[in-house]
A = this chain, B = another copy of it.
């Protein structure tokens, strides 16, 4: 059984942003030569998300906007004080909460060397506290 792990680093541009990583995940599976197995995709951060939805710019905007409304910025969060471990103020409790609701990982089966998914299923890395340099990971498990 092969396990091929790829780390992909990207630079996000906005505070909240959906980045379409579908092509990268599909191409890594093809490149791996794995014919049968499962691909796992995950973010390595706690103020980001990973989600699957239809690949339409309108929906990307609706998802970003909805998350911002669902978890308000103005609330007396406890995670809102100077953090000695970070050397700065913690002001991103809403980012952590949005990530908790959205989730940070997804998997897809691999069959005949390609990912099995629905025709509209687009994989998004979701920045929730940007802009920042971020890393997500693709693991291809199979043979």
Q: Which residues of B contact A51 (CB under 8 A)?
A: 100
Q: A12: CB under 8 A from chain B?
A: no
Q: Please report the C-alpha to C-alpha distance between residue A117 and residue B3 in the assembled complex, in whole angstroms.
A: 16
Contact status B1-A52, CB under 8 Å: no
**Is A106 interfacial (CB-CB < 8 Å)?**
yes
Which residues of B lie under 8 Å from residue A109 when comparing CB positions?
Answer: 3, 5, 40, 42, 137, 139
Question: How many chain copies?
Answer: 3
| Residues from 77 to 130 in A contacting B, C-beta threshold 8 Å | 77-81, 83, 90, 93, 96-97, 99-111, 116-118, 120-122
Find out whether the CB atom of A107 lies under 8 angstroms from the CB atom of B104.
Answer: no
Contact B81 A46 (CB under 8 A): no
What chain B residues lie within 8 Å of A43 (beta carbons)? 118
Q: State whether A142 touches B1 (Cβ < 8 A).
A: yes
Q: In whole angstroms, how far apart are the Cα atoms of A102 and B81 in the complex? A: 25
User: A: which residues have CB within 8 A of B?
Assistant: 1, 3, 5, 36-38, 40, 42-47, 51-54, 56, 58-59, 61-63, 65-66, 70-71, 77-81, 83, 90, 93, 96-97, 99-111, 116-118, 120-122, 135, 137, 139, 141-143
